[in-house]
Amino acid sequence: MNAPPLKRIGKYHLVLERTGSMKVNADVFASERIPVERGALDQLADATCLPGVVRVLATPDIHIGYGVPIGAVVAAEDFISPAAVGYDINCGMRLITTPRNAEEVDLRSLARQIHGVVPLGEGRSNVCLSRKGIQRVLERGIAGLLDSLENEMHSFPDAEILRKLDLDEERALLDRVERRGSLPGNPGAVPDRAKERGQPQVGTLGGGNHFIELQKVDRIDDLEVAQAWGIHPGQLVVMIHSGSRGLGHEVGGHYMRAASKYDRQHGIGVPNSNLSIFPLDSRPGKDYLGAMNAAANYAFANRAMMAILVKGVIRRCLGKLDIGTVYDVAHNLAALGRHHQKEWMVHRKGATRAFPAERMSDTPFADWGQPVLVPGSMGTASWLLRGIPEGKITLFSTNHGAGRVLSRKAAGGKRRGKRGRIIQPGAISDRDFESSMAGVHLICKDPRSIKEEAPAAYKDIDAVIDTVIGAKMAAPVARMVPLAVLKG
């Protein structure tokens, strides 16, 4: 539907007021410095028309997605929507700390050696799981991966890093992963094609906006929390951004098609075929939840495997260092949560959980709240924040990044043929791209398409974080800047 006009009700808060077939208002958190696409607002308004919807909101990185905009939170009483999760289930972040300052390290050499153990780009393979191994991962996430690494070493490459792997160290890190890196997955609900694609892809980065960045901590906003989390100024840290790879894409596509068919057959009134739902108590709804959880487990395991490889390279280059993990958090996920004394299915698409301290009991974050990882665009800053009680205004959710202002084609241009001949130039020139990446060492799989991920294709991350802080969605802890970037 065409969204009603946005009404500003606060410096960082706007609203699409309920009208027509809308069942609830839609809240939009953005300052006047942040552009918001009309098409994304139309998609947000569509989400308010779903039967059983109870809350719809947009984080400041909102932009057009498939069915539901990216940077959206949709809460429901009795349905689950594959489109409100997206194709890259549990696309997420992990932040790794080192005891070294960035200026002490040959970052170009370190980045090259990481590239040697983590394949970049789409369709790449790395650690190949056995059939039992993929089953373990889909059922139990990181714990299943570690069991496979312990019991099936013959199935993996004869790599020095894996031979020196300390499984006890990795198991001790599970408290530093959202939901301990394990959801109740149902491998039987995962299509066979998804399993086939996922089996050889553990420990691969993927393409698009996924990255591994070597970063320097350039600012501390909360010294007490930063110290508790092992963060200090000038420090070398590593951020990993990736998801469930081809497996998650297959799961997402399979169930989006199934939901569209289900809604037509059962006469469920949805705004369009791209925004279909399953009743939570239906057989296909339960199957999707189990398959989505399984794909999320795969994504947790994939980031854990990349972290193992990255840490192995760091120790090989710099010696046996004490390397820490701040947190690993999901972006694209739906989960039951208690809000306003009610149990809702909360979909976060291009949005990340940001729980306050009281929701983090029995974890290392019971005193300060959940770490929140918000990456910028390639070449710009990323942020570490923490969940706070005031975050209930967004169902304890924040944005997952800066958010696009240019589509990939608009940014990089349109190409044709195997050699990628440009038939329509992009909005970002080579000179502008090089200027925006000054001082950042870039390693990428496809130099022809890298401008699609240029900083100018994204919103200003610091303006986005200003809204997060101003709206009290989360509180800042530290800011990091990239020094070397590995992209697919």
- Residues known to be catalytic: 400
- Rounded to whole angstroms, how far apart are CA atoms 433 and 284? 46
- Rounded to whole angstroms, how far apart are CA atoms 82 and 278? 8
- Sorted by sequence, the CB contacts under 8 Å of residue 175 that are 6+ apart come out as 363, 364
CB atoms within 10 A of CB 240: 25
CB atoms within 10 A of CB 468: 26
